[in-house]
Amino acid sequence: MRRIGVGLILLLLLLLIGMVVFWFIGGPRIVLEEILATRLQVPVHLQANPRFYWGKQQLQVTLQGLRIGTPAQPRLQLRRLMLSLLWRPLLTGHVKIQQIFLDQPSVYGPWPASPGSAASSANMNISLPGDIRIRDGSLRWVGLAGHALQLSDVQASFSRSGAGTATGRWFWNQHAGQGRLQMGIHSTSRLSLRHLQLLVGTRQVPDALRLQMPRLEIQDEILQIPALQVHWRDNHEQRMEVSLRDLQAQPGLQKIALRSATLQAGSDFHIQVDNARFSWAQWTGQTSYVVSAEHLPELAKKWGLSWPKLTNPKAPRYFNMSGKLVWKNPRFDWTIRQGLLDSSPWSGSITGTWQPLKIHLDLQMQRLNLGAYLPAPKPGPGAVLPRLPATWPITGSLQIGQLIWGKIRAEDVLIRSRKP
């Protein structure tokens, strides 16, 4: 018995020495790196072993120098990550996070696609695991409209049930400014946001972009936004407003629907869509629409768009159309129930495919004064219209009740474009 007792003591001593050696050679760090790398399917590095603080109600775990990704292409880097876990659930085999603290996190994107990323991104059952605090965060996202978006000095606090705020600085395409986000959060089995407000300012315009969302909910794989408003203006007093009503997104089914949406650019341009449905998996959808614009040449110049040189530099003064648009890859069916070009009503349909590009027209117009757009033909035995290109993807017909072009007056004009 005495030999057995001595043997057990020696065995325990050897185990204790092994654990000490395992700790000092970075064993816990190596094991944790392997577990995280297997879970995330990307290299993971830690500067040191995890640290533990044993409190009366919490276990605090600290990870120093966490990097996800390779040294040349990191995806996420943190000076320090602290997790506060409640003791009681932990003793029963459950992990309940009370607080997450991210010290100087740096995010780099975009991230390359990985196996299962599409399925995980489609999972909309989102809830906060605990209260989250961020100190001195930053982000660099390249390839956003051809430029890199940078966020810096990000300070944020998101309570699992309470207020959420975030502030920071941004830089994109030689523009810079500050931003502020605030909201009310309720996160249980579903995520619900209330009174979300985003304010983005530039050096010249402190409130260049304002976004307001009274409510956002994520439940049963469905994202619901009953109302959303966006206001934008620049230092030249150009303004744009966007509003949405009853938006529902189902990423799992790759579908989105909304009751109505409007876009107002200044006082001269307006778009409204109603009862819109869209599936980006099959690239199908439909919507009713109304488009109206005034002073089109001035409008194009104001927004930095190119505009053809016409006989009358102020034409057209007014443009309007309404109807329905239906598309099912690669076909589209565009119906114009009512249209108005200056003072001339027009209607019809435009159908075809966009790959390859083939367009078929069936349009009717009561009256058209071509002199406002093209130089009048020279006197002679007959006017010759410009030749069409050798590869012309447009077929169909245009019926004009009355055509005016210089000294030409014609009625019931029918212009056809056949297949070459």
pLDDT tens profile 311-351: 888 888 999 999 999 999 889 999 999 999 988 999 999 99
Asked if residue 121 has pLDDT above 50, the reply is no
**Which residues, 6 or more positions from 182, have their beta carbon under 8 angstroms from its beta carbon?**
163, 164, 165, 166, 195, 196, 197
Lowest mean pLDDT among 114-118, 132-136, 265-269, 299-303: 114-118
Q: Give Cα separations from 117 to 41, 120, 123, 152, 281 (angstroms).
A: 11, 5, 10, 27, 16
- What rounded mean pLDDT belongs to the chain? 85
pLDDT for res 390: 67
Q: What is the DSSP letter of 35?
A: H
pLDDT per residue over 356-410, tens digit each? 889 999 999 999 888 888 887 776 555 566 666 667 788 999 999 998 888 888 8
pLDDT for res 12: 62
pLDDT per residue over 41-60, tens digit each? 889 888 888 888 888 778 88
Strand pairing of 44-45 and 51-54? unpaired
Q: Give me the amino acid identity at 95.
A: V
Strands of 234-267 (E only): list them. 239-250, 255-265
Q: What is the mean pLDDT of residues 93-114?
A: 85
Asked if residue 255 has pLDDT above 80, the reply is yes
Asked if residue 274 has pLDDT above 90, the reply is yes
- Radius of gyration (Cα) for the chain, nearest Å? 32
pLDDT for res 118: 46
Distance CA 127, CA 18 (A): 41
Q: What is the mean pLDDT of residues 115-122?
A: 48
pLDDT for res 221: 81
pLDDT for res 273: 97
- Bridge partners for 415 per DSSP: 398
pLDDT per residue over 139-168, tens digit each? 999 988 788 999 999 999 999 888 999 999
Contact of 327 with 347, CB cutoff 8 Å: no
pLDDT grade for 1, boundaries at 50, 70 and 90:
low
pLDDT per residue over 189-228, tens digit each? 678 899 999 999 998 899 999 999 999 998 878 899 999 9
pLDDT grade for 243, boundaries at 50, 70 and 90:
very high
Distance CA 175, CA 201 (A): 10
